């Protein structure tokens, strides 16, 4: 898993860096001394971070403000010198809450939990026109052409197909990277659509036929230009 550390305490960063280096399947992409530097990096569309180790008490921007500032959070493991922020932290569906000083055994327990959670959201993309979604103990094959749209639901996304709905613990940014463009276009911070299934674009809404009824999905102002580029547009 690709991870970053965000903590103003140098010693804590060194300890975590060592723990990560000793742990299989963990890749430390960056270690930040403050949340401001981290959030500027995470706001880039091409970031591939899957896990954040986050301190709470930091100058300029604390950990809670940091969590509030991100639209699509990867997994987060909080590590703090006090328990008083635990309830607030778990409101953000954090994976675990660790107390300083940190032992490797407690760190490894949290990492194991993060890996299991990551496995539950695993989507395997092959080179054809289909994906496999983990559903319970099974991998369910889904053709791209069957997906009508993807909808954000707090820390989950729902893939709406012609016959079913699949809800998985995944971010919109991550699922957007898995779906091929221009076949799939993000039209809103909460919606990605299969452009082949759009029947009408009306003002700031796209219409898709689903279950014999027309479903209208909003187009965000910042996404409209990309939508126009991704469809086969003919205008006089």
| CATH number for region 126-230 | 2.40.50.1020
Task: With a cut of 50, say whether residue 14 has pLDDT above it.
Answer: yes
Query: Using 50, 70 and 90 to split pLDDT, how confident is the model at 173?
Result: confident
Extended strands (E) in the chain:
2-6, 27-32, 51-54, 75-80, 96-99, 123-125, 130-135, 138-143, 147-153, 156-161, 165-168, 184-188, 191-194, 198-202, 205-210, 213-218
Task: With a cut of 80, say whether residue 225 has pLDDT above it.
Answer: yes
Residues ≥6 apart with Cβ < 8 Å to 9: 55
> Do 124 and 139 touch, CB atoms closer than 8 A?
yes
**Mean of the pLDDT values across residues 203-217?**
89
Location of each CATH 3.40.50.2300 domain in the chain: 2-120
Task: With a cut of 70, say whether residue 87 has pLDDT above it.
Answer: yes
Which of 43-47, 172-176, 188-192 is predicted least confidently?
43-47
Instruction: Report CA dihedral (143, 124, 6, 58) to the nearest 10 degrees.
Output: 40
Instruction: Give SS3 for 215.
Output: strand
| Structure confidence at residue 148 (pLDDT) | 94
Task: With a cut of 90, say whether residue 233 has pLDDT above it.
Answer: no
* CA neighbours closer than 13 Å in the CB half-sphere of residue 25: 11
**Mean of the pLDDT values across residues 107-115?**
93
Location of each CATH 2.40.50.1020 domain in the chain: 126-230
**Mean of the pLDDT values across residues 187-195?**
93
**Mean of the pLDDT values across residues 26-46?**
86
**Mean of the pLDDT values across residues 30-48?**
84
pLDDT tens track for 127-148: 457 778 777 777 888 888 889 9
| Structure confidence at residue 126 (pLDDT) | 43
Query: Using 50, 70 and 90 to split pLDDT, how confident is the model at 6?
Result: very high
Query: Can you give the pTM of this predicted structure?
Result: 0.55
Query: According to the CATH classification, is domain 2-120 in 3.40.50.2300?
Result: yes
Task: With a cut of 60, say whether residue 236 has pLDDT above it.
Answer: no
| Structure confidence at residue 41 (pLDDT) | 80
User: 236 or 192, which is more confident?
Assistant: 192
């Amino acid at each position: 898993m690709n991870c970053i550390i965000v903590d103003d305490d140098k010693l804590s960063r060194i300890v975590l860096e060592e723990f990560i280096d000793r742990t299989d399947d963990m890749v430390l992409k960056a270690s930040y001394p403050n949340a401001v530097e981290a959030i500027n990096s995470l706001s880039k569309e091409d970031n591939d971070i899957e896990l954040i180790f986050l301190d709470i008490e930091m100058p300029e921007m604390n950990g809670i403000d940091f969590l509030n500032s991100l639209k699509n959070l990867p997994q987060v493991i909080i590590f703090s010198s006090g328990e008083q922020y635990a309830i607030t932290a778990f409101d953000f569906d954090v994976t675990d809450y660790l107390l300083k000083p940190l032992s490797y055994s407690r760190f490894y327990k949290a990492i194991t939990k993060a890996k299991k959670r990551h496995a539950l959201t695993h989507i395997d993309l092959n080179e054809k026109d289909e994906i496999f979604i983990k559903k319970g103990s099974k991998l369910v094959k889904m053709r791209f052409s069957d997906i009508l749209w993807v909808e954000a639901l707090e820390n989950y996304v729902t893939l709406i197909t012609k016959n079913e709905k699949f809800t998985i613990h995944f971010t919109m940014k991550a699922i957007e990277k898995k779906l091929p463009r221009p076949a799939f276009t993000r039209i809103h911070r909460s919606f990605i659509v299969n452009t082949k299934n759009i029947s009408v674009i009306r003002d700031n809404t796209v219409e898709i036929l689903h279950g014999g009824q027309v479903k209208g999905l909003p187009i965000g102002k910042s996404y409209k230009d990309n939508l126009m580029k991704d469809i086969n547009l003919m205008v006089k």
